Structure 1
């Protein structure tokens, strides 16, 4: 039985090493959230058996959870580089035909050939309609629309787009060559009842699940969503020193369990070699 007990420890240490290595590998990934492996002990005894005489059966993986703590904000001075100071997520929609709605903390946005503002994997950033004061007039998924930069002033087609600005509430304002301004919309932001229940899909993107609850859509500076910081990006929330210390600890655990297996093997071989 000691073989299997130590084997469970080896598997746990290997999983821990994999999780920590992934954290270290993504130190420079914008919007990345570190993960942590959680383990529990294995114990089994018959209903009538005294538990004081029963040893445990090792350990098992209870789950790998992501830590959604705030990452450091780094200034870039690019208007479409956006960071969130808070718990919200940017809502983005995939390209046809699937057009999956996902949520990201990676605000490294750019403009494609169709003047759509997209993220690093080509999903289109979503906006909410706003009134003249920049207050969202609709806060449901059905109200969202694609973030498309206007080429010219709707009231004066000869006046071309000159500048785009985004304030802390996520309101996008367009300035044209004739001096006119127009509020294009507000960035659609999402929050969740149980953020740990989100399903990661890669590239600092997540999908809602039954565990996370549905996305609560609103503009920035409402509730837990936090504020938008234009000209900044959120770095990974990975402390490289902490991860390296954890890596050493996981390596020691692996070596200790491997030594326990070797010891069990030696004892078993000794018993086999006994001559009656």
Structure 2
């Protein structure tokens, strides 16, 4: 019996040594969680045994339990590197259509040749679908997650349909007589101020739309326009008025008027000037406005910002453009990827377009130690772990996602080296026990 007891102690010490050695070997493995060998005594008895004299039958390994404490974060230069600060796992699959989910704390992600976010083994990072413009999550169910893809272009171009502008014109300026000195975009003395905006046609080609502001009376201004240097009519809509005089080349503009307090002079119930329109289907003095095969285009010129809260003014201060936006885009190239603490991924493109591409799913379990290790710093759910619970990062009990960071192994090297010495001493002690038992048996066998 004593041989078996000593042998069980040797086996337990060997298991402890193996566990410690495995921890030490993974001290630099991203997302690795250390294990701890846990032991229990062996005690077998029955109602016919004298329990108060029973010694015990040795030791056995009851579990090699993983310890899911937080590892330290190491910040990197890769925007796709991610670490979870708190509870949770990343979810991955081995194929685009696969639902065989595995879970990991290792966030060393990159793009594959199809622009999907993958780990070092090519497994696809799963995320929730979101609205491309607002980033609103449509579902946080694990069943609806999909691989996250980051396209390097921002889709088809969008022609400009609207320009939004608000400005202040200087009330102190001297009016210019439009009859004696008609507007000429090539002569700076025929207008007071100007500004330009970049607009796009249906092919995504950029063009320059310039507007010119000419004071005609005390509170009276004309607004003229050119497209790529060619004059174009800025025609009024609704109750708007055309300029009292045309340009030197015969093109008309819009007339806007202000009140004595510098605010727009408008009909009752109206908040800003009626917009103007620019028809690019025709031809200017130097040829067609659009001669590259793009679709005919009409641009509406709005005297307000996109929310309608900022409008033109005429104060005694320098000319200033307070709003100048347009709703067209060209084909954009990927310039930056941002990942929020909630896992929301936003891609920025060279055309200024920002698209939300997905939200990284975070999964937790009722019993993390019940997860089944499968290698590659990955786990699968098991009966002991319970069902995976999906949610949004940085909410409730789910940890926050740190972008451009990796979670280091939670192995404490100093502690593991001490444990290694302890396991070695235990192994030696049990070996000594076995040796003493052998000596005693030899002594018995030698009795004559």
- Would the TM-score normalized by the shorter structure come out above 0.5? yes
CA contact (8 A) 1:89 1:225 kept: no
User: Who is 1:256 aligned against?
Assistant: 429
Q: What is the TM-score with the length of structure 1 in the denominator? A: 0.96
Aligned mate of 2:372, from 178, 199, 205: 199
User: Who is 1:80 aligned against?
Assistant: 80
- Listed as ranges, the matches of 1:211-250 within 5 Å are 211-250=384-423
CA contact (8 A) 1:136 1:218 kept: no
* Superposed displacement of residue 164, structure 1: 0.9
In structure 2, stretches of 5+ residues that fail to align are 158-329
Match status 1:104 vs 2:277: no
Match status 1:148 vs 2:155: no
User: Who is 2:47 aligned against?
Assistant: 47
* Superposed displacement of residue 271, structure 1: 0.4
Inter-partner Cα distance in structure 2 for 1:135 and 1:250: 53
Task: Decide which structure has greater helix share.
Answer: 1
* Superposed displacement of residue 48, structure 1: 2.4
In structure 1, stretches of 5+ residues that fail to align are none
Inter-partner Cα distance in structure 1 for 2:136 and 2:111: 25
CA contact (8 A) 1:173 1:182 kept: yes
Inter-partner Cα distance in structure 1 for 2:378 and 2:38: 22
Tell me the matched-pair count: 275
Inter-partner Cα distance in structure 2 for 1:152 and 1:253: 62
Runs of 4+ in 1 over 3 A off after TM superposition: 96-99, 131-135
CA contact (8 A) 2:141 2:391 kept: yes
1:152-196, Cα deviation, whole Å (9 max, x unpaired): 113527222221110111000011111010111100110111111
Inter-partner Cα distance in structure 1 for 2:411 and 2:354: 40
1:182-224, Cα deviation, whole Å (9 max, x unpaired): 1111001101111111111112111111111111112211222
User: Who is 2:312 aligned against?
Assistant: none
Inter-partner Cα distance in structure 2 for 1:53 and 1:23: 40
Inter-partner Cα distance in structure 2 for 1:227 and 1:43: 46
* Superposed displacement of residue 133, structure 1: 4.3
1:212-254, Cα deviation, whole Å (9 max, x unpaired): 1111112211222210101110000000000010110010000
Inter-partner Cα distance in structure 1 for 2:347 and 2:101: 26
1:239-272, Cα deviation, whole Å (9 max, x unpaired): 0000010110010000000000000000000000
- Listed as ranges, the matches of 1:88-127 within 5 Å are 88-95=88-95, 100-127=100-127
Distance 1:111 1:178, change over 3 A: same
Greater C-alpha Rg? 2
* Superposed displacement of residue 83, structure 1: 0.6
Inter-partner Cα distance in structure 1 for 2:97 and 2:428: 49
* Superposed displacement of residue 55, structure 1: 0.9
User: Who is 2:24 aligned against?
Assistant: 24
Distance 1:81 1:96, change over 3 A: closer
Distance 1:98 1:4, change over 3 A: farther
Q: What is the TM-score with the length of structure 2 in the denominator? A: 0.60
Deviates more, 1:223-232 or 1:245-254: 223-232
CA contact (8 A) 2:96 2:124 kept: no
Inter-partner Cα distance in structure 2 for 1:13 and 1:106: 30
User: Who is 2:352 aligned against?
Assistant: 179
Inter-partner Cα distance in structure 1 for 2:371 and 2:337: 32
